[in-house]
Amino acid sequence: MGDLVAKTGEGSNNSSVPSDLSTKARCSEVQSHGSVVATHYNTLEERGLAERCKSRIFYLRNFNNWIKSMMINEYLSKIWQGKSHGAPVRVLDMCCGKGGDLLKWRRGNITHLVCADIAEVSVEQCQARYNDLQNRSRNDRGFAPVFTAEFISADCTKVRLRDRYKDPTMELDLVSCQFSFHYCFESLPQAESMLCNAAECLRPGGYFIGTIPDAYEVMKRHQTEGDSFGNEIYKVEFQCDTKPPVPLFGAKYSFHLEGVVDCPEFLVHFPTLVKLAKKYGLQLVAKERFDSYYERVKEEGRSLLGKMQALETYPPFHEAPLLGHVPEDYEHVQQYMQKSTGHRKVGTLSKSEWEAASLYLMFAFQKDNTRWKAEERPEFEDRSETTRKRASEDGNDGSVSKCLKSTDLTVGAGGETL
The secondary structure of 309-337 as a DSSP string is: T-SEEESPGGGPPPS--SGGGGHHHHHHH
Mean predicted confidence (pLDDT) in 248-256: 96
**309 or 412: which leads in pLDDT:** 309
In a domain, 410, yes or no: no
Q: For residue 408, say whether it is annotated as part of any ligand binding site.
A: no
Distances (CA, A) of 277 to 96, 199, 247, 299, 411: 21, 9, 19, 32, 36
Per DSSP, the residues of 101-166 read: THHHHHHTT-SEEEEEES-HHHHHHHHHHHHHHHHHHTT-TTPPPPPEEEEEES-TTTS-GGGGSS
Model confidence at 252, pLDDT cuts 50, 70, 90, reads: very high
Is 369 annotated in some ligand binding site?
no
In a domain, 404, yes or no: no
At 138 the pLDDT is: 80
Contact 365, 285 (CB under 8 A): yes
pLDDT for 32: 57
189: left (phi over 0), alpha (psi -120 to 50) or beta: alpha
pLDDT of residue 298: 96
Query: Known binder of ligand: residue 65?
Result: yes
What is the mean pLDDT of the segment spanning 130-155?
A: 87
More confident residue, 24 or 121: 121
CB of 220 closer than 8 Å to CB of 230: no
Q: Answer whether residue 139 is part of any domain.
A: yes
Residue 29 — pLDDT band, cuts 50, 70, 90? very low
Higher-confidence residue of 19 and 385: namely 385
- Is 183 within a domain? yes
Q: In the prediction, which pLDDT does 263 show? A: 84
CATH number of the domain encompassing residue 155: 3.40.50.150
Consult the annotation and say whether 117 binds a ligand: yes
pLDDT at 348: 93
Q: Is the pLDDT of residue 277 over 50?
A: yes
Domain-located, residue 127: yes
Comparison of pLDDT for 188 and 50, the residue scoring more: 188
Question: Does residue 304 belong to any structural domain of this protein?
Answer: yes
Q: Which residue has the higher pLDDT, 302 or 390?
A: 302
Domain carrying residue 215: 33-310+361-399
The packing angle between helices 33-42 and 120-137, to 10°, is 40
298 is in an annotated binding site: no
Annotated binding residue 95? yes
Among the listed ranges 180-189, 209-218, 295-304, 324-333, which one has the minimum average pLDDT value? Answer: 324-333
User: pLDDT confidence of 27, banded at 50, 70, 90?
Assistant: very low
Measure the N-to-C terminal CA separation of the chain; round to a whole number of Å.
21
Q: Residue 25: pLDDT band by 50, 70, 90 thresholds?
A: very low
Give the pLDDT score at 334: 87
pLDDT (average), residues 223-243:
94
For residue 158, give the DSSP letter: T
Please state the domain count of the chain.
Answer: 1
pLDDT of residue 19: 34
* pLDDT-based confidence at residue 409 (cuts at 50, 70, 90): very low
Residues 6+ apart with CB under 8 A from 188: 248, 249
Rounded mean pLDDT of 59-65?
A: 97
pLDDT given for residue 20 in this prediction: 36
Identify the residue with better confidence: 387 or 416: 387
Please check whether residue 10 lies inside any domain of the structure.
no
Q: Is the pLDDT of residue 70 over 90?
A: yes
Check: CB of residue 131 under 8 Å from CB of residue 139: no
What would the mean pLDDT of 286-291 be, rounded to a whole number? Answer: 98
The whole-angstrom separation of Cα 250 and Cα 264 is: 11
Q: What does pTM read for this prediction?
A: 0.80
What is the pLDDT of the chain when averaged over all its residues?
A: 81
Question: If pLDDT is split at 50, 70 and 90, which confidence band does 399 have?
Answer: very low
183 appears as a binding residue in the annotation: yes
To the question of whether residue 235 is assigned a binding role by annotation, the answer is no
What confidence category does residue 220 fall into, taking pLDDT thresholds of 50, 70 and 90? very high
Q: Is residue 315 part of a domain?
A: no
